[in-house]
Chains A and B, each alone.
Chain A
């Protein structure tokens, strides 16, 4: 299908973009790479009066890798992430997971910020932002604010972002080299949205026991989220098969997936547990290798 008619602006500065969004109330929508928004427009699932193209706004571009953490400009594309060997070293879980995002052509245009704000519960980047304790910097007519990713998502395609706000950058805490991590997702076809997926990491204390476990799931809940009950099952235990099996069981108990045309709730619940178990097992094996 073809989108309904809209006006279109390409502001040169962030202030102009915010002013345009504010001026149109909820009727304007920001567009970055458009790889989530354009299908919505083509299906007429959304029909904004105006699109505000963010491509000329310099604050949204680039990535910056520092010992204290990593900044991803909201306009960072999947292909930019794929091509950065420095980022692969600084944020290995992020980079491994991004390889699962959509297809070659979409990865040349789709952006980190667009995916987070679109907030598909099965998409990788929203789940990663939660798993990695990301901070999201939003700038709007009332000024700027930092929102932890854990508080950003409120439901399917729903977030706390106001209609006059722009996601400017994603800030990721530094990643210790010894950290254990894994990412697994299952989709029917390459590049499809995950039926369920898991981004996991943990550190080890001096006794070799798990501390600081982070277990985030995608596709098996109405939003990407961490599973505190699973994390408490893991914390204090040794990273072995028995712990990971217990985590899988706790995951299936903790998630509340929907039945839809792609899979039943029961299947997704079981799959989420399997994804967590496999991701944890990858984490342990990668460390042993």
Chain B
């Protein structure tokens, strides 16, 4: 089945099986392996991507349901040159160990801070409850997201959603 959508600013046109998940489509067909596949039933959050700026589970979304939409993966949140505010904060706080959950943490946190740059710790914890990490114990992740807020505050919504390469 033919489907067309935008991934990290680039238009893509694919012919896929309807049963292909967006996560597998991104990894297998588009070679964007930053999106990780963990549980495949909507519990772990490793596959989180943004659809029209909203965080969703790519394992619970069909590639054909992305038709006409704008997808952002973790690759789209970095320019490979300088660290984004979230990347820099994760490094500063040692907010990753094995790194498997990190793409989902970064995409989720980016969606949250783009929409709610003034969110408090309670809100950060509530939102990150949909992302499992088996290494860190979450505390450094929560601290990193709270720390990254300052880069998102005082920016327009459009500027916030494009905060991908500001070294801090």
- A15-55 contacts to B, CB under 8 A, are 34-35, 38-39, 41-43, 51, 53, 55
A2 at interface, CB cutoff 8 A: yes
Q: Name the one of A8, A10, A51, A104 contacting B55, with C-beta atoms under 8 angstroms.
A: A104
B19 proximity list for chain A (CB < 8 A): 2-6, 41
Q: Distance (Å) between the CB of A83 and the closest chain B CB?
A: 10
Chain B stretch 1-44: residues in CB contact (< 8 A) with chain A: 1, 17-19, 21, 24, 40-42
Could you tell me if A104 and B65 are in contact, using CB atoms closer than 8 angstroms?
A: no
Can you name 29 A-B pairs with beta carbons within 8 Å? A2-B19, A2-B21, A3-B19, A5-B18, A5-B19, A8-B1, A8-B18, A8-B62, A8-B64, A34-B60, A38-B42, A38-B61, A38-B62, A39-B41, A39-B60, A42-B41, A42-B59, A43-B41, A51-B18, A53-B64, A103-B45, A104-B111, A104-B112, A104-B126, A104-B127, A106-B57, A106-B130, A109-B60, A109-B61
CB within 8 A of A108: which of B17, B24, B54, B126?
Answer: B54
- CB of B144 closer than 8 Å to a CB of A: no
Residues B60 and A7 in contact, CB atoms below 8 Å apart: no
Nearest chain B CB to A110 CB, angstrom units: 9
Chain B contacts for A103, CB-based, 8 A: 45, 127, 129-130
- A105 to B129, Cβ gap below 8 A? no
Distance in angstroms from A46 CB to nearest chain B CB is 12
What residues of B have a CB within 8 angstroms of the CB of A178 in the complex? none
- Considering only CB atoms, which chain B residue lies closest to A189 in the complex? B129
Query: Is A68 on the interface with B (CB-CB < 8 A)?
Result: no
Q: How far apart sit A53 and B45, CA to CA, in the bound complex (Å)?
A: 24
CB distance from A61 to the nearest CB of B (A): 15
Interface residues of B: mostly helix, strand, loop or mixed?
A: mixed
Please report the C-alpha to C-alpha distance between residue A106 and residue B126 in the assembled complex, in whole angstroms. 13
- In the complex, what distance in Å separates the CA atom of A152 from the CA atom of B136? 45
- CB pair B130–A35 under 8 Å, yes or no, is no
Is B108 interfacial (CB 8 A cutoff)?
yes
Chain A residues, CB < 8 A from B61: 34, 38, 109
How big is chain A's contact interface, by range? Answer: 20 to 34
Which 10 A/B pairs are nearest by Cβ-Cβ distance?
Answer: A103-B130, A8-B18, A190-B129, A39-B41, A38-B60, A108-B54, A104-B127, A3-B19, A105-B55, A105-B57
Q: Say which residue of B51, B62, B64, B108 sits within 8 Å of A104 (CB atoms).
A: B108
By beta carbon, the residue of chain A nearest B52 is A108
Name the B residues within 8 Å of A10 (CB-CB). 64, 67
Asked whether, in the complex, the Cβ of B129 is within 8 Å of the Cβ of A38, the reply is: no
Which of the residues A8, A39, A51, A55 comes within 8 Å of B42, measured between beta carbons?
A39
Report A-chain residues with C-beta under 8 Å of the C-beta of B41.
38-39, 42-43
Give the contact-size bracket for chain B.
20 to 34
Q: Which residues of A contact B1 (CB under 8 A)?
A: 8
Say yes or no for B56: interface residue by CB 8 A criterion. yes
| A79 CB–B CB distance under 8 Å | yes
Given contacts A34-B61, A38-B41, A106-B60, list 20 more A-B pairs with CB under 8 A. A1-B40, A5-B18, A6-B18, A10-B64, A10-B67, A34-B62, A39-B60, A41-B19, A42-B41, A42-B59, A43-B41, A51-B18, A55-B65, A102-B130, A105-B48, A106-B57, A109-B56, A109-B61, A190-B126, A191-B130
Chain B residue, CB-CB nearest to A47: B19
What is the bound-complex CA distance between A103 and B48, given in angstroms?
Answer: 12
A190 to B129, CA, bound (A): 6
User: Roughly how many angstroms separate A43 CA and B19 CA in the complex, as a whole number?
Assistant: 13
Chain A nearest CB from B39 CB (Å) reads 9
Name the interface residues of B41-82: CB closer than 8 Å to any CB of A.
41-42, 45, 48, 51, 54-57, 59-62, 64-65, 67
Known contacts A104-B55, A108-B55: A191-B42 contact under CB 8 Å = no
